[in-house]
């Protein structure tokens, strides 16, 4: 098996929504296609990848560093002993001459490439990624369905409390029982009114509502909001301070008794390990949200899972950020706690297979080989145009 060519492009995923830190008016996303010399039905088998959401396209790094290094690698050096493509072997090549630390846009570029290689490897094996992955890196018995919660509840121009409630009702109608909303983008008084409006839609059951600060608060505000929302008994209190301020998180966890979730802006094994070492995260209740697509791909995510195990953490405490098909497969294969979903945002890249049905906040996977982009018509059209 040889890589014939790699194609890279950009797709807009912009919208008028806003969280406590950014708006998404110019959000875009890198996409890649890795064309192999393996032929099926007269066409080459192609692996696809994209970079989740929340970080912009990383085309410059892909074009100048990651893609040339991948193409320079001897084809045999990417294969395992049994002659099959092993995406984890690409890592050392694409990271050649890269210093440690400073993880960010580079981890995004590598993540896109890594996703495409895992899509390709499982397609060549004619297996959906979650089975392929479970056989090689899991226990061979993947979960057949994955817990998903509906993320939304953004700030948007002119959005009223009623609009927020209607959005949450739509999520419930679509089969989700846990929902997430943004906070920290206005004052505490207004956020409490927003939270209570959503709790009303949940028939008073606040344990089905997560709130997300997107890293906005300093310690005093984190504690002030914590005191105000703790009595509700929320599903989780997310990314409360700067993602790298481990001390803030540790202090918060001494005061806030409910679950805390964070990690979507930690992009490496080392950053995730520092969170576990210094962030005060509690393995009996808290959640790790590292997004494999943003953080050097599944290759690095497997290392993060090993690290968590060494620290006594269950994989069930991981619910990745991103709401995409790649993490859905990873969640099923590695027996994570679930996966995010954005029923209303980040198209055409985000979300699951067309026609995927969510029931009681669980979604199943399909038998489509690879990640299953082919079962997501609007996105597949964009991906195919990259190389045809």
Q: Is 182 a residue of the active site?
A: yes
For residue 119, state whether it binds Mg ion (rule: CB under 5 A): no
180 annotated among ligand-binding-site residues: yes
For residue 212, state whether it binds ligand OAA (rule: CB under 6 A): yes
Q: Is 321 a residue of the active site?
A: yes
For residue 340, state whether it binds Mg ion (rule: CB under 5 A): no
Q: Which of 67, 113, 151, 199 binds ligand OAA (CB under 6 A)?
A: 151
Q: Which of 7, 123, 182, 376 is catalytic?
A: 182
Three-state secondary structure string covering 111-167: HHHHHHHHHHHHHHCCCEHHHHHHHHHCCCCCCCEEEEEEECCCECCCCCHHHHHHH
For residue 341, state whether it binds ligand OAA (rule: CB under 6 A): no
For residue 148, state whether it binds ligand OAA (rule: CB under 6 A): no
Given the structure tokens 């999520």, which residue do they identify?
171
Q: Provide Rg for the chain, Cα atoms.
A: 20
Comparing CB distances to ligand OAA, the nearer of 67 and 108 is: 108
Comparing CB distances to Mg ion, the nearer of 6 and 222 is: 222
Distance CA 278, CA 235 (A): 23
274 annotated among ligand-binding-site residues: no
With beta carbons less than 8 A apart as the criterion, state whether 242 and 274 touch. Answer: no
Give, as ranges, the residues between 26 and 65 that touch ligand OAA (CB under 6 A).
54
The DSSP code for 376 is: S
Torsion of CA 350, 106, 138, 33, to 10 degrees: 60
145 annotated among ligand-binding-site residues: no
Give, as ranges, the residues between 71 and 100 that touch ligand OAA (CB under 6 A).
none
The DSSP code for 262 is: E
Least distance in angstroms from the C-beta of 340 to ligand OAA: 6
Given the structure tokens 């406590």, which residue do they identify?
20
Q: Which residues are at the interface with ligand OAA (CB under 6 A)?
A: 19, 54, 151, 212, 214, 264, 321, 340
Residues taking part in catalysis? 182, 321
Residues that bind Mg ion (CB under 5 A): 212, 264
């Amino acid at each position: 098996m040889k890589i014939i060519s790699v194609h890279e492009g950009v797709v807009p995923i912009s919208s008028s929504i806003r969280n406590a830190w950014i708006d998404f008016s110019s959000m875009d996303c890198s996409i890649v296609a890795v064309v192999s010399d393996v032929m099926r039905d007269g066409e080459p088998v192609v692996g696809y990848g994209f970079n989740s959401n929340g970080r912009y396209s990383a085309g410059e790094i892909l074009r100048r560093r990651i893609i040339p290094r991948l193409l320079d690698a001897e084809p045999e050096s990417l294969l395992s002993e049994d002659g099959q493509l092993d995406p984890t072997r690409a890592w050392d090549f694409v990271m050649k001459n890269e210093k440690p630390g400073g993880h960010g846009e580079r981890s995004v570029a590598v993540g896109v490439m890594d996703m495409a290689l895992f899509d390709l490897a499982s397609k060549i094996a004619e297996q959906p990624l979650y089975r392929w992955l479970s056989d090689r890196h899991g226990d061979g018995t993947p979960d057949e369905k994955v817990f998903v919660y509906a993320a939304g509840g953004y700030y948007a121009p002119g959005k009223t409390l009623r609009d927020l409630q209607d959005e949450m009702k739509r999520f419930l109608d679509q089969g989700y029982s846990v929902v997430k909303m943004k906070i920290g983008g206005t004052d505490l008084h207004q956020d409490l009114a927003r939270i209570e409006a959503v709790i009303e839609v949940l028939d008073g059951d606040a344990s089905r509502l997560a709130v997300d600060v997107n890293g906005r608060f300093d310690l005093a505000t984190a504690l002030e909001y914590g005191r105000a929302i703790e009595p509700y008994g929320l599903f989780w209190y997310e990314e409360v301070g700067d993602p790298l301020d481990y001390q803030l998180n540790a202090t918060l966890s001494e005061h806030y008794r409910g679950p805390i979730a964070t990690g979507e802006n930690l992009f490496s094994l080392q950053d995730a390990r520092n969170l576990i070492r210094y962030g005060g995260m509690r393995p009996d209740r808290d959640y790790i949200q590292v997004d494999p697509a943003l953080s050097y791909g599944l290759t690095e995510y497997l290392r993060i899972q090993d690290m968590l195990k060494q620290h006594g953490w269950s994989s069930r405490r991981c619910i990745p950020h991103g709401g995409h098909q790649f993490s859905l497969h990873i969640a099923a294969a590695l027996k994570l706690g679930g996966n995010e979903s954005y029923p209303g945002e980040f198209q055409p890249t985000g979300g699951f297979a067309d026609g995927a049905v969510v029931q009681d906040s669980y979604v199943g996977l399909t038998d489509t080989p690879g990640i299953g982009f082919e079962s997501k018509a609007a996105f597949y059209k964009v991906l195919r145009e990259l190389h045809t």
